[in-house]
Amino acid sequence: MTTKWVYDFGGGASDGDASMKNLLGGKGANLAEMARLGLPVPPGFTITTEVCTVFYDLRKKYPAGLDAQVEAALAMLETKTGKTFGDTNNPLLVSVRSGSRASMPGMMDTVLNLGLNDETAEGLAVLSGDRRFAYDSYRRFIQMYSSVVLDVPDDVFEHILDDYKESNDLRFDTELGAESWREVIEQYKKAIDKRRGRPFPQEPKDQLWGAIGAVFSSWMNDRAATYRRLNDIPQSWGTAVNVQAMVFGNMGESSATGVAFTRDPGTGEKRFYGEYLLNAQGEDVVAGSRTPAPISRARQAELKSDDTSLEEAMPAIYKELTEVAERLETHYRDMQDIEFTVEQGVLYMLQTRSGKRTAQAALKLAVEMCREGLISREEAILRLDPAQLDQLLHPAISEDAVRDIFVKGLPASPGAAVGQIVFDSAEAVLLAQAGKAVILVRMETSPEDINGMHAAKAIVTARGGMTSHAAVVARGMGRPCVCGAGALQIDSERGVVRVGSRTLRRGDVITVDGAKGQVLVGAVKMVEPMMTGEFGELMTWADGVRRLRVRANAETPLDAATARRFGADGIGLCRTEHMFFDAARIPVVREMILADSEKGRRRALDKLAPMQRSDFTEIFRIMAGLPVTIRLLDPPLHEFLPHTAADIAEVARQSGVAIELLAARARELHESNPMLGHRGCRLGITYPEIYEMQARAVFEAALDVARETGKAPVVEVMIPLVATRRELQLMRERVVAMAERVFQERKAQIDYLVGAMIELPRAALRAGDIAEEADFFSFGTNDLTQTALGISRDDAARFLKVYEERAIYERDPFVTIDRIGVGELVRIGCARGLAVRPNLKLGVCGEHGGDPASIYFFEEVGLDYVSCSPYRVPVARLAAAHAVLKKAR
């Protein structure tokens, strides 16, 4: 059997249909489908995507049999249109367009008006009764064909046209009549002959094969390749080529062309929405050379436009178009983006596809279409992209805002904010108290900046990646943040920040777009987040479907409350060191770290204990009855070591220890590689009294809340940075002993679990041993990524961009889990842990817990829960539902 390479459509029948997107491309499949529905589609044929694949396999040669099939399709097209290719009296003209499986707008090439030559142009002139139109079409064709197929750049033609206008004293193209165009065409042809060494092809079939080859070749052009890479479209998909009878929207005042959406793509409202141009070709709308008019009377009134709407200019066509639009939407069960042309009072449909939409529109469309009975709940859930949800949860920059970009960095925490520049946290706090909106601009942030970060509307740093301190804390707080903006030169002493030759000063107003990673000059227009009833409704549907529980990473009462408001099922990571970031506590924490004896440490710990207990009490109250994972102290020490003489003096004042002694101790504690240094459970092993104080505070607080509310929290005590079973065993013994002590003292008890963070490769590999001592595992994929890849979390920004560009890592591995590397360690950890302890609870609390693509992976692996920053909880809830639904498909 010979392969079918070519599929006919139009004239009431089609070989293909909408289900054949892979073979016919989106455009071809939908044209076939529309023709099947009996809609007015100009007939044509589609050369399949398989031909594209063979074309490249055979080094740009076509498969055997293709030419015969194209010949047959062309003959069929002639019959359907009653026109003949190359016929002088009644010429068939076609468009040749690309069309891949996924829409790749504007990335590949198109040729219109193909079939015109010196003779058929004259035929078209007679047939249309408009010589100017015919010769204008011919010159457009020559120009487009030469640029796409013959590699003659556009400016060659532009120069000719400009010279012609100048020497004939003409200003606008519209002033050129048929004879003028003929003269211009002669010059065009000469220029092509000179450049190419052969004349412009006059034979329509030669033109056709030239255009087909050019469209297939454009699949590999740089633009298309980049677009594919950015949008995860495999090269192997290939493009189809659609050859379709031309219809002309520029055949006089009863002709028009336009695009429309079946509902408003900006808001999702149910109203027909679009633009059109009278007497124009589709390309004129796209090129923006003329401003299109609104399609409906209502929209025209809304815009206070002077233009005549299509509804008024062509009422019958408008009615027919709205009926077609409604049919298409019902048929495809989604909002459609359609292209149409009116040729001398007759409507033709040129394209339909699912329309791109804002997050707000996606939400409204999904919920309303489900209510209308057009789609099921499952489909409604799938219609909202979890990654888009961020846009709904934070204020965002208005789409029509003008952006004057000062610097670009990493989009570390979404949302947008306007404020004046400050370089110092203390100043940020003071100004915020005075009611000023401030933006904290720093080289990098450290725990001491916590108050400044909180006071600021947004944070910008020159250093640091997606999991740097600034990024993690900003996301946790829901502050927009741009990190790693390496071009920033900050001189906080002088109060200036430079990027190249541009300078901004303390107090200057900037806007931070955390979603795009941009810092903009001045105050830019914003739109507030939308938390309508539809949002709640869709999230409830998602909750009904998901299997993964979604917890939050939270350590302050505010974060915990936000997490509950966003529907968290508990807390999956309470970083206790973050509780020490408070300005009043840092000196006490420093006292503890700098103490050179157990006695000195215990003195500081006694001061910290009541604070810790009251922190836990508040959090347990907010999370009453839900699981709360408390991680014992884990900071890389440098985060807490004093940096300045003033810091040391403050500790000396509070602790009564001599300044010199403290300074010497600080030098002693300095580490060259703190991330791999004295942190995590290594602190608990060397100074067990720290973990004991924390465990006591946890159990006392839990008992208090249980007594007070009648609802005990489900306490999970977590030991960080475990590498060996013995480490966990020692720490577990301490925690259990402390629990027993507190229970005896209080004559009451609660259930609790003790578990390990799996965030070192060794821990994943030895998960079987570790599970002997663990009630649960929580994968700390931030450190696991850092240690498995050997890439420092804080220094990655400098080179990871290049790594992504060169496709070494497809995505930032600190944002989306490296499935086959770090992911493999997670799989191994789960399997080995479960083999020893089948009821082992499994979760993840690295930043990946809030990333949709990573959540699909965690569903696959079968974790029990993910934990992420509070503002990402809704994203994770929706992504967890998608994970289940996609797996089922």
Binding site for Mg ion (CB under 5 A): 759, 780, 783
CA distance 574 to 626: 14
User: Per CB under 6 A, does 783 bind ligand PEP?
Assistant: yes
Single out the segment in contact with ligand PEP by CB under 6 A; choices: 89-97, 331-339, 587-595, 778-786: 778-786
Which partner in ligand PEP, Mg ion, none is near 781 (CB below 5 to 8 A by kind)? ligand PEP
Give φ, ψ of 717 to 5 degrees: -95, 125
DSSP H or E run through 342: strand 336-343
The residue (of 146 and 787) whose beta carbon lies closer to Mg ion is: 787
Whole-number minimum distance, CB 786 to Mg ion, in Å? 8
The residue (of 362 and 573) whose beta carbon lies closer to ligand PEP is: 573
Q: Are strands 496-499 and 405-408 parallel, antiparallel or unpaired?
A: unpaired
Nearest to 211 by CA among 75, 53, 94: 94
Single out the segment in contact with ligand PEP by CB under 6 A; choices: 88-96, 255-263, 642-650, 777-785: 777-785
- The amino acid occupying position 418 is V
CA distance 250 to 134: 10
User: Per CB under 6 A, does 294 bind ligand PEP?
Assistant: no
- Interface of this chain with ligand PEP, residues 816 to 845, rule: CB under 6 A: 845
Whole-number minimum distance, CB 762 to ligand PEP, in Å? 14
Single out the segment in contact with ligand PEP by CB under 6 A; choices: 10-18, 185-193, 494-502, 776-784: 776-784
Whole-number minimum distance, CB 647 to ligand PEP, in Å? 23
Which partner in ligand PEP, Mg ion, none is near 343 (CB below 5 to 8 A by kind)? none
The residue (of 407 and 760) whose beta carbon lies closer to ligand PEP is: 760
The binder of ligand PEP chosen from 228, 394, 457, 575 (CB under 6 A) = 575
- Interface of this chain with ligand PEP, residues 736 to 775, rule: CB under 6 A: 759
Q: Are the CB atoms for 236 and 54 separated by under 8 Å? A: no
Q: Are strands 752-758 and 776-779 parallel, antiparallel or unpaired?
A: parallel
Show contacts of 723-729: CB within 8 Å, 24+ apart: 723/760, 723/762, 723/763, 723/766, 724/762, 724/766, 724/769, 724/770, 725/766, 725/769, 725/770, 725/772, 725/773, 727/681, 727/685, 728/681, 728/756, 728/770, 728/773, 728/774, 729/773
Whole-number minimum distance, CB 795 to ligand PEP, in Å? 15
Whole-number minimum distance, CB 845 to Mg ion, in Å? 8
* Tokens coding 679: 């942190």
Which partner in ligand PEP, Mg ion, none is near 846 (CB below 5 to 8 A by kind)? ligand PEP
Which partner in ligand PEP, Mg ion, none is near 146 (CB below 5 to 8 A by kind)? none
CA distance 671 to 713: 38
Could you give the 3-state DSSP secondary structure of residue 195? helix
Nearest to 5 by CA among 62, 61, 47, 52: 47
The residue (of 577 and 692) whose beta carbon lies closer to ligand PEP is: 577
The residue (of 216 and 777) whose beta carbon lies closer to ligand PEP is: 777
The binder of ligand PEP chosen from 780, 843, 870, 874 (CB under 6 A) = 780
The residue (of 182 and 793) whose beta carbon lies closer to ligand PEP is: 793
Give φ, ψ of 791 to 5 degrees: -115, 125
Q: b/e string for 580-602 if b means 16 or more Cβ within 10 A?
A: bbbeeebbbbbbbbbbeeeebbb
DSSP bridge pairs for 241: 47, 98
The binder of ligand PEP chosen from 629, 782, 816, 869 (CB under 6 A) = 782
The residue (of 418 and 767) whose beta carbon lies closer to ligand PEP is: 767
Question: How far are the Cα atoms of 9, 10, 34, 333 from residue 42, in angstroms, in the given order?
Answer: 9, 6, 10, 24
Q: Is residue 481 among the annotated active site residues?
A: no
The residue (of 575 and 841) whose beta carbon lies closer to ligand PEP is: 575
Q: b/e string for 177-209 if b means 16 or more Cβ within 10 A?
A: eeebbbebbebbbebbeeeeeeebbeebeebbb
Whole-number minimum distance, CB 582 to ligand PEP, in Å? 18
CA distance 438 to 421: 6
User: Per CB under 6 A, does 813 bind ligand PEP?
Assistant: no
Which partner in ligand PEP, Mg ion, none is near 555 (CB below 5 to 8 A by kind)? none
Single out the segment in contact with ligand PEP by CB under 6 A; choices: 44-52, 263-271, 780-788, 874-882: 780-788
Show contacts of 114-119: CB within 8 Å, 24+ apart: 114/141, 114/145, 114/204, 114/207, 114/208, 114/211, 114/246, 115/85, 115/86, 115/91, 115/204, 115/207, 115/208, 115/246, 116/91, 116/141, 117/86, 117/202, 117/203, 117/204, 117/207, 118/202, 119/88, 119/202
CA distance 28 to 48: 9
User: Per CB under 6 A, does 846 bind ligand PEP?
Assistant: yes
DSSP bridge pairs for 273: 261
Single out the segment in contact with ligand PEP by CB under 6 A; choices: 495-503, 664-672, 779-787, 820-828: 779-787
Strands (E), 676-786: 714-719, 752-758, 776-779
Site mask for ligand PEP (CB under 6 A), range 586-625, x = bound? ----------------------------------------
User: Per CB under 6 A, does 44 bind ligand PEP?
Assistant: no
* Tokens coding 66: 């293709």
The residue (of 527 and 676) whose beta carbon lies closer to Mg ion is: 676
The residue (of 727 and 759) whose beta carbon lies closer to Mg ion is: 759
The residue (of 53 and 869) whose beta carbon lies closer to ligand PEP is: 869
Q: Are the CB atoms for 144 and 287 separated by under 8 Å? A: no
The binder of ligand PEP chosen from 473, 573, 756, 770 (CB under 6 A) = 573
Q: Which of 52, 483, 681, 845 is catalytic?
A: 845
The residue (of 573 and 796) whose beta carbon lies closer to ligand PEP is: 573
Which partner in ligand PEP, Mg ion, none is near 337 (CB below 5 to 8 A by kind)? none
Whole-number minimum distance, CB 590 to ligand PEP, in Å? 20
DSSP 64-131: TTHHHHHHHHHHHHHHHHT-EET-SSSEE-EEEEEEESS--TTTS-EEEEET--HHHHHHHHHHHT-H
- Interface of this chain with ligand PEP, residues 627 to 646, rule: CB under 6 A: none
DSSP 282-314: HHHHHHTSSPPEESSHHHHHHHT--SPPHHHH-
# binding residues, ligand PEP (CB under 6 A): 9
Whole-number minimum distance, CB 695 to ligand PEP, in Å? 19
The residue (of 425 and 787) whose beta carbon lies closer to Mg ion is: 787
Q: Which of 394, 469, 578, 638 is catalytic?
A: 469
DSSP single-letter state for residue 355: P
Whole-number minimum distance, CB 230 to ligand PEP, in Å? 27
Whole-number minimum distance, CB 512 to Mg ion, in Å? 27
User: Per CB under 6 A, does 781 bind ligand PEP?
Assistant: yes
Which partner in ligand PEP, Mg ion, none is near 573 (CB below 5 to 8 A by kind)? ligand PEP
Whole-number minimum distance, CB 448 to ligand PEP, in Å? 17
Query: Which residues, other chains included, contact 851 with Cβ-Cβ below 8 Å and sequence gap of 6+?
Result: 815, 816, 817, 879
Whole-number minimum distance, CB 640 to ligand PEP, in Å? 14
CA distance 222 to 226: 6
Q: Is residue 678 among the annotated active site residues?
A: no
Whole-number minimum distance, CB 542 to Mg ion, in Å? 29
Which partner in ligand PEP, Mg ion, none is near 845 (CB below 5 to 8 A by kind)? ligand PEP
Residue 38: CB atoms within 10 A of its CB come to 10
User: Per CB under 6 A, does 574 bind ligand PEP?
Assistant: no
Active site residues: 469, 845
Q: Which residues contact ligand PEP by CB under 6 A? A: 573, 575, 759, 780-783, 845-846
